Amino acid sequence: MAIPYSLTLRHIHPGEPEMGNKTYATAQYAEMMNLEDLAEHMSSHGSKYDKGDIMAVATQLTSCIREQLLLGNKIAVGDLGSFYVCLVCDAADNAESFSASLIKNVKVRWAPSTLFKDLINDASFTFVGSRKSQVAARKAERERINAMATIQPGMEDDTDQDGGEGEGSLG
């Protein structure tokens, strides 16, 4: 298994387009797994726990992590890493003029354990088209299939007889 990626052209310095562009890799995901999918996958690895047990524990874990973060705690979850909060706020001129009303958002941060920090050592990569090109290819394929479905028996395209796309053709 490999991590799929596509290529994208980006400004070297986002605020300075005159600096030019460079090509970068962008990770693509093949599918989005939800908790149910992940629980089913976990139970298929010879676990003594079934999908329902895993989902129940994961749901409770999520609820408790949220509760503890709202209490200001940092949560270390073994090899998964740690979760903690980060505050987004407007600045005050000094400590006396600061109030909690300047806090605009609370973001959850994840500090991965070394198991997740070293993914590059175990990763392999495979090039795929961008999401936009994948959508275009799927649309073209659907249009080709729909066009073929409209051909009635006896009305086949003559390209098979003169070297076009037919049986035995690689196109």
Number of domains in the chain: 3
The rounded mean pLDDT for the chain is 85
Longest dimension (CA), the chain: 87
Is 22 part of a structural domain of the chain? yes
Q: Pick 32 or 17 by higher pLDDT.
A: 32
State the Cα–Cα distance between residues 127 and 4, nearest whole angstrom: 6
State the Cα–Cα distance between residues 147 and 143, nearest whole angstrom: 6
Segment among 77-91, 95-109, 136-150 with least mean pLDDT: 136-150
Is 18 part of a structural domain of the chain? yes
Is 19 part of a structural domain of the chain? yes
Is 162 part of a structural domain of the chain? no
Q: Which two tokens stand for residue 78?
A: 């073994």
What's residue 152's pLDDT?
A: 62
Residue 15: how many CA atoms within 13 Å on its side-chain side? 0
- What's the domain range around 58? 34-73
